[in-house]
Structure 1
Amino acid sequence: MYAVIKTGGKQYRVVSGEKIKVEQIPAEVGAEITLDQVLMVGEGESVKIGSPLVPGATVTAKVIAQGRHPKVKIFKMRRRKHYQKHQGHRQNFTEIEISGIAA
Protein backbone atom coordinates (compact mmCIF):
# COMPACT_ATOMS: atom_id res chain seq x y z
CA MET A 1 0.00 0.00 0.00
CA TYR A 2 1.27 3.47 -0.87
CA ALA A 3 0.05 7.02 -0.50
CA VAL A 4 0.78 10.47 -1.89
CA ILE A 5 0.93 13.05 0.89
CA LYS A 6 1.36 16.81 0.91
CA THR A 7 3.50 18.51 3.53
CA GLY A 8 5.54 21.68 3.44
CA GLY A 9 4.18 22.65 0.02
CA LYS A 10 5.59 19.49 -1.59
CA GLN A 11 4.15 16.09 -2.49
CA TYR A 12 5.74 12.76 -1.56
CA ARG A 13 4.92 9.16 -2.54
CA VAL A 14 5.37 7.08 0.61
CA VAL A 15 5.13 3.44 1.63
CA SER A 16 5.15 1.96 5.12
CA GLY A 17 8.65 1.64 6.59
CA GLU A 18 10.19 4.31 4.33
CA LYS A 19 12.38 7.13 5.68
CA ILE A 20 12.07 10.55 4.03
CA LYS A 21 13.30 14.09 4.69
CA VAL A 22 10.52 16.71 4.59
CA GLU A 23 10.32 20.41 5.34
CA GLN A 24 10.69 21.16 9.04
CA ILE A 25 7.78 20.01 11.24
CA PRO A 26 7.64 21.37 14.82
CA ALA A 27 7.75 18.06 16.71
CA GLU A 28 10.11 16.40 19.18
CA VAL A 29 12.41 13.57 18.11
CA GLY A 30 10.65 10.25 18.79
CA ALA A 31 7.16 11.74 18.61
CA GLU A 32 4.36 10.17 16.54
CA ILE A 33 2.78 12.57 14.05
CA THR A 34 -0.27 12.23 11.84
CA LEU A 35 -0.24 13.56 8.29
CA ASP A 36 -3.86 14.06 7.20
CA GLN A 37 -3.32 15.74 3.82
CA VAL A 38 -3.47 12.53 1.76
CA LEU A 39 -4.00 13.15 -1.96
CA MET A 40 -4.05 9.53 -3.15
CA VAL A 41 -4.02 6.00 -1.72
CA GLY A 42 -3.20 2.95 -3.82
CA GLU A 43 -2.97 -0.77 -3.24
CA GLY A 44 -2.30 -2.98 -6.23
CA GLU A 45 -4.81 -2.16 -8.96
CA SER A 46 -7.21 -0.21 -6.71
CA VAL A 47 -6.49 3.51 -6.44
CA LYS A 48 -8.42 6.17 -4.49
CA ILE A 49 -7.85 9.71 -5.72
CA GLY A 50 -9.10 12.62 -3.63
CA SER A 51 -10.55 15.86 -4.82
CA PRO A 52 -8.31 17.31 -3.44
CA LEU A 53 -7.99 15.04 -0.35
CA VAL A 54 -9.05 11.45 0.29
CA PRO A 55 -11.70 11.61 3.05
CA GLY A 56 -10.71 9.78 6.24
CA ALA A 57 -7.23 8.80 5.04
CA THR A 58 -4.25 9.41 7.33
CA VAL A 59 -0.57 8.57 7.37
CA THR A 60 1.21 8.08 10.71
CA ALA A 61 4.93 8.69 11.03
CA LYS A 62 7.62 8.81 13.67
CA VAL A 63 10.08 11.72 13.87
CA ILE A 64 13.62 10.33 13.64
CA ALA A 65 15.74 13.50 13.46
CA GLN A 66 15.71 17.26 13.06
CA GLY A 67 18.59 18.63 11.00
CA ARG A 68 19.90 20.96 8.34
CA HIS A 69 20.81 20.24 4.73
CA PRO A 70 24.31 21.04 3.40
CA LYS A 71 25.05 24.66 2.61
CA VAL A 72 24.01 26.04 -0.77
CA LYS A 73 26.29 28.82 -1.96
CA ILE A 74 24.75 31.80 -3.73
CA PHE A 75 27.05 34.02 -5.80
CA LYS A 76 25.82 37.09 -7.64
CA MET A 77 28.00 39.18 -9.91
CA ARG A 78 27.63 42.02 -12.41
CA ARG A 79 30.48 41.96 -14.85
CA ARG A 80 32.51 45.14 -15.28
CA LYS A 81 30.56 46.85 -12.46
CA HIS A 82 32.73 45.77 -9.51
CA TYR A 83 29.77 44.08 -7.83
CA GLN A 84 30.01 40.69 -6.15
CA LYS A 85 27.80 39.23 -3.46
CA HIS A 86 28.40 35.96 -1.60
CA GLN A 87 25.64 34.34 0.41
CA GLY A 88 24.89 30.91 1.87
CA HIS A 89 21.76 29.08 2.94
CA ARG A 90 21.06 25.92 4.94
CA GLN A 91 17.49 24.60 4.86
CA ASN A 92 16.03 22.88 7.93
CA PHE A 93 14.49 19.42 7.56
CA THR A 94 12.70 16.76 9.57
CA GLU A 95 13.48 13.11 8.89
CA ILE A 96 10.44 10.89 9.41
CA GLU A 97 9.76 7.16 9.13
CA ILE A 98 6.34 6.16 7.81
CA SER A 99 4.79 3.70 10.25
CA GLY A 100 1.31 3.22 8.81
CA ILE A 101 -1.19 4.19 6.13
CA ALA A 102 -4.89 4.16 6.96
CA ALA A 103 -7.38 4.58 4.15
Structure 2
Amino acid sequence: MYAIVEIAGQQFKVSKDLKVYVHRLANEEGSKVSFDKVLLVDDNGNITLGAPAIEGASVEAKVLQHLKGDKVIVFKKKRRKGYKKRNGHRQSLTQIVIEGISATGAKKAAPKKAVVEADATDVAEEAQKAKKAPKAKKEDTQD
Protein backbone atom coordinates (compact mmCIF):
# COMPACT_ATOMS: atom_id res chain seq x y z
CA MET A 1 0.00 0.00 0.00
CA TYR A 2 1.33 3.41 -0.93
CA ALA A 3 0.05 6.96 -1.22
CA ILE A 4 1.03 10.19 -2.90
CA VAL A 5 0.79 13.00 -0.36
CA GLU A 6 1.63 16.69 -0.43
CA ILE A 7 3.93 17.73 2.42
CA ALA A 8 5.15 21.33 2.75
CA GLY A 9 4.44 22.12 -0.90
CA GLN A 10 6.08 19.01 -2.36
CA GLN A 11 4.56 15.68 -3.41
CA PHE A 12 6.00 12.43 -2.05
CA LYS A 13 5.25 8.77 -2.74
CA VAL A 14 5.12 7.23 0.74
CA SER A 15 4.48 3.82 2.26
CA LYS A 16 4.53 2.45 5.81
CA ASP A 17 7.88 2.63 7.67
CA LEU A 18 9.47 4.86 5.00
CA LYS A 19 11.86 7.61 6.13
CA VAL A 20 11.48 10.86 4.19
CA TYR A 21 13.36 14.18 4.27
CA VAL A 22 10.96 17.12 3.88
CA HIS A 23 11.25 20.89 4.21
CA ARG A 24 11.48 22.03 7.85
CA LEU A 25 8.27 21.43 9.81
CA ALA A 26 7.31 23.42 12.92
CA ASN A 27 6.65 20.26 15.00
CA GLU A 28 9.07 19.16 17.72
CA GLU A 29 11.22 16.02 17.52
CA GLY A 30 9.31 12.94 18.61
CA SER A 31 5.88 14.47 17.97
CA LYS A 32 3.30 12.98 15.67
CA VAL A 33 2.00 14.82 12.62
CA SER A 34 -0.84 14.07 10.21
CA PHE A 35 -1.07 15.10 6.55
CA ASP A 36 -4.56 15.44 5.08
CA LYS A 37 -3.70 16.38 1.50
CA VAL A 38 -3.57 12.83 0.09
CA LEU A 39 -3.75 12.86 -3.70
CA LEU A 40 -3.72 9.11 -4.48
CA VAL A 41 -3.96 5.86 -2.54
CA ASP A 42 -3.08 2.44 -3.98
CA ASP A 43 -4.23 -0.52 -1.87
CA ASN A 44 -2.95 -3.64 -3.68
CA GLY A 45 -4.22 -2.54 -7.09
CA ASN A 46 -7.31 -0.66 -5.88
CA ILE A 47 -6.48 2.91 -6.83
CA THR A 48 -8.33 5.82 -5.25
CA LEU A 49 -7.75 9.14 -6.93
CA GLY A 50 -8.63 12.51 -5.45
CA ALA A 51 -9.83 15.64 -7.18
CA PRO A 52 -7.49 17.19 -6.07
CA ALA A 53 -7.35 15.52 -2.61
CA ILE A 54 -9.15 12.47 -1.19
CA GLU A 55 -11.75 13.42 1.43
CA GLY A 56 -11.18 11.64 4.75
CA ALA A 57 -7.79 10.16 3.86
CA SER A 58 -4.70 10.98 5.90
CA VAL A 59 -1.08 9.94 6.41
CA GLU A 60 0.31 9.75 9.95
CA ALA A 61 4.02 10.34 10.56
CA LYS A 62 6.46 10.88 13.40
CA VAL A 63 9.16 13.59 13.40
CA LEU A 64 12.55 11.95 13.94
CA GLN A 65 14.94 14.90 13.77
CA HIS A 66 15.62 18.36 12.39
CA LEU A 67 18.81 18.77 10.39
CA LYS A 68 20.49 20.71 7.62
CA GLY A 69 21.04 19.40 4.11
CA ASP A 70 24.25 19.34 2.11
CA LYS A 71 25.95 22.62 1.29
CA VAL A 72 25.17 24.07 -2.13
CA ILE A 73 27.69 26.54 -3.56
CA VAL A 74 26.29 29.35 -5.71
CA PHE A 75 29.02 30.89 -7.89
CA LYS A 76 28.35 33.75 -10.28
CA LYS A 77 30.88 35.07 -12.77
CA LYS A 78 30.90 37.43 -15.73
CA ARG A 79 33.86 36.78 -17.90
CA ARG A 80 36.29 39.57 -18.78
CA LYS A 81 34.61 41.90 -16.28
CA GLY A 82 36.35 40.90 -13.04
CA TYR A 83 32.97 40.01 -11.47
CA LYS A 84 32.91 36.97 -9.17
CA LYS A 85 30.41 36.22 -6.38
CA ARG A 86 30.53 33.11 -4.22
CA ASN A 87 27.63 32.24 -1.94
CA GLY A 88 26.50 29.11 -0.11
CA HIS A 89 23.25 27.66 1.17
CA ARG A 90 22.18 24.77 3.40
CA GLN A 91 18.51 23.78 3.35
CA SER A 92 16.75 23.15 6.67
CA LEU A 93 15.16 19.69 6.59
CA THR A 94 13.05 17.46 8.82
CA GLN A 95 13.33 13.68 8.79
CA ILE A 96 10.00 11.91 9.29
CA VAL A 97 8.97 8.25 9.33
CA ILE A 98 5.57 7.25 7.94
CA GLU A 99 3.60 5.30 10.53
CA GLY A 100 0.38 4.64 8.64
CA ILE A 101 -1.91 5.47 5.74
CA SER A 102 -5.64 5.64 6.39
CA ALA A 103 -8.08 5.90 3.50
CA THR A 104 -11.32 5.91 5.52
CA GLY A 105 -14.17 7.64 3.76
CA ALA A 106 -12.41 7.43 0.42
CA LYS A 107 -14.41 6.58 -2.67
CA LYS A 108 -13.00 3.94 -4.95
CA ALA A 109 -12.22 4.94 -8.53
CA ALA A 110 -14.58 3.51 -11.12
CA PRO A 111 -13.00 0.69 -13.12
CA LYS A 112 -12.04 1.62 -16.65
CA LYS A 113 -14.35 0.45 -19.42
CA ALA A 114 -12.87 -1.81 -22.05
CA VAL A 115 -12.24 -0.13 -25.37
CA VAL A 116 -14.11 -1.84 -28.20
CA GLU A 117 -11.89 -2.29 -31.21
CA ALA A 118 -13.30 -1.56 -34.64
CA ASP A 119 -13.78 -4.48 -37.01
CA ALA A 120 -11.47 -4.76 -39.99
CA THR A 121 -14.46 -4.31 -42.31
CA ASP A 122 -15.34 -0.95 -40.77
CA VAL A 123 -11.78 0.28 -41.26
CA ALA A 124 -11.75 -0.93 -44.87
CA GLU A 125 -15.07 0.85 -45.61
CA GLU A 126 -13.78 4.12 -44.19
CA ALA A 127 -10.63 3.84 -46.31
CA GLN A 128 -12.73 3.28 -49.46
CA LYS A 129 -14.86 6.36 -48.69
CA ALA A 130 -11.76 8.46 -48.17
CA LYS A 131 -10.38 7.41 -51.58
CA LYS A 132 -13.63 8.22 -53.38
CA ALA A 133 -14.03 11.67 -51.82
CA PRO A 134 -12.99 14.45 -54.22
CA LYS A 135 -9.81 16.21 -53.24
CA ALA A 136 -9.54 19.97 -53.28
CA LYS A 137 -7.40 21.16 -56.19
CA LYS A 138 -4.64 23.63 -55.62
CA GLU A 139 -4.95 26.64 -57.83
CA ASP A 140 -1.65 27.62 -59.31
CA THR A 141 -1.51 31.36 -59.71
CA GLN A 142 1.44 33.17 -61.15
CA ASP A 143 1.64 36.92 -61.55
Alignment TM-score > 0.5, same fold:
yes
- The structure where helix makes up a greater share of residues is 2
Q: Distance in 1 between matches of 2:45 and 2:79?
A: 57
Structure showing the higher strand proportion among its residues: 1
Aligned to 2:29: 29
Q: Distance in 2 between matches of 1:20 and 1:7?
A: 10
- Deviation, structure 1 residue 45: 1.3
Taking only the aligned residue pairs, the percentage that are identical comes to 40
1:9 and 2:21 matched: no
Three-state SS of the structure 2 residue aligned to 1:71 is strand
TM-score in terms of structure 2 length = 0.71
- Unaligned 5+ residue runs, structure 1? none
1:77 matched residue in structure 2? 77
Displaced runs of 4 or more, over 3 A: none
How many pairs align?
A: 103
Structure 1 residue 44: Cα displacement: 1.2
Query: Larger C-alpha radius of gyration, 1 or 2?
Result: 2
RMSD: 0.6
Structure 2: gaps spanning 5 or more residues: 104-143
**Aligned letter for 2:15?**
V
